[in-house]
Amino acid sequence: MTAGTRRRLRRRVTCAVALVGAWAIGFVGLAPAAAAEDIRAKQWYLNAMHVDKIWQKTRGEGIKVAVIDSGVNPSTPSLQGQVLKGRDTSGMGEGTDDYSGHGTTMAELIAGTGKGGGLQGLAPGAKIIPFRVALDDPTRRKNAWDVEDAIRAAADSDAKIINMSFGGIGKTDRMMEAAKYAQSKGKLMFASTGNTGDGENVRQYPVGLPEVVGVAATDSEGRVGKYSTHGDMVDISAPGSDIPHWCDASFARYCDGAQGTSHATAIASATAALIWSYHPDWTANQVLRVMLESAGKGEGWKPGTTSNYVGHGVVRPGAHINRGLGKPGDPNVDPLTNENSAAPGGGSSATPAAPATPGTSAPASSQAPQDQATPAQAVTGSSGETGGGSSLGLVLGGAAVVVVVAGGAFYFARKRRTA
Q: Is the N-terminal amide bond of 280 cis, ω within 30° of 0?
A: no
* Strand boundaries in 180-309, DSSP class E: 188-192, 212-218, 223-225, 236-239, 241-246, 253-259
Closest among 185, 186, 184, 204 to 194, alpha carbons compared: 204
Which backbone phi and psi does 273 adopt, to 5 degrees? -65, -40
Number of residues in the chain = 419
Which tens digits make up the pLDDT trace of 115-163? 999 999 999 999 999 999 998 777 888 999 999 999 999 999 999 999 9
pLDDT score, position 303: 83
218-222, Cβ contacts within 8 angstroms, sequence gap of 24 or more: 218/264, 218/310, 218/314, 218/392, 219/382, 219/384, 220/44, 220/45, 220/48, 220/394, 221/391, 221/393, 221/394, 222/296, 222/314, 222/391, 222/392, 222/393, 222/394, 222/395, 222/401
Q: 93-102, 143-152, 358-367: which range is least confident on average?
A: 358-367
Count of beta carbons in the 10 Å neighbourhood of residue 186: 18
Backbone angles phi, psi at 127, to 5 degrees: -120, 155
Task: Give the gyration radius of the chain's Cα atoms.
Answer: 19
| Distances 315 to 190, 312, 350 between C-alpha atoms, Å | 13, 9, 32
In this structure, are residues 272 and 137 in contact, taking their beta carbons and an 8 Å threshold? no
Instruction: Please name the residues in contact with 274: beta carbons below 8 A apart, sequence gap of 6 or more.
Output: 54, 58, 59, 60, 122, 123, 317, 321
Q: Which residues are catalytic?
A: 69, 102, 262
Mean pLDDT is lowest, of 164-178, 266-280, 336-350, for: 336-350
CATH: 3.60.15.10, 3.40.50.1820, 3.40.50.200, 3.90.1150.10. Which one for 3-404? 3.40.50.200
Q: Is the dihedral of CA 250, 251, 253, 254 positive or negative?
A: positive
Residue 34 buriedness (CB in 10 A; 0-12 / 13-18 / 19+): middle
Decide if 183 contacts 285 (C-beta within 8 A). Answer: no
Residues 306, 260: contact at Cβ < 8 Å?
no
What is the DSSP secondary-structure string of 92-139? S-S----SSSHHHHHHHHHH-B-GGGPPBPSSTTSEEEEEE--TT-GG
Separate counts of helices (H) and strands (E) for the chain = 10, 17
What is the spatial distance between Cα 114 and Cα 106, in angstroms, rounded to a whole number? 13
The CA-atom distances, in angstroms, between 280 and each of 162, 201, 265, 286 are 17, 37, 21, 11
Q: Are strands 30-32 and 253-259 parallel, antiparallel or unpaired?
A: antiparallel
At 419 the pLDDT is 52
- What's the average model confidence in pLDDT over 77-87? 98
Task: Round to whole Å and give the CA distance between 49 and 52.
Answer: 9
Rounded Cα distance, 399 and 323, in Å = 10
Residue type, 24: A
Global pTM reads 0.80
- Contact 155/91 with Cβ under 8 angstroms? no
pLDDT tens per residue across span 294-326: 999 877 888 888 999 999 999 999 999 999 999
Strand order in the sheet with 253-259: 30-32, 253-259, 241-246
Closest C-alpha among 260, 261, 130, 268 to residue 189: 268
CB atoms within 10 A of CB 75: 11
* Cβ(127)–Cβ(65) below 8 Å: yes
- Among 27-41, 83-97, 358-372, top mean pLDDT goes to 83-97
Computed over every residue of the chain, the mean pLDDT equals: 78
Residue 166 pLDDT > 50, yes or no?
A: yes
187, pLDDT greater than 70 = yes
pLDDT at residue number 140: 87
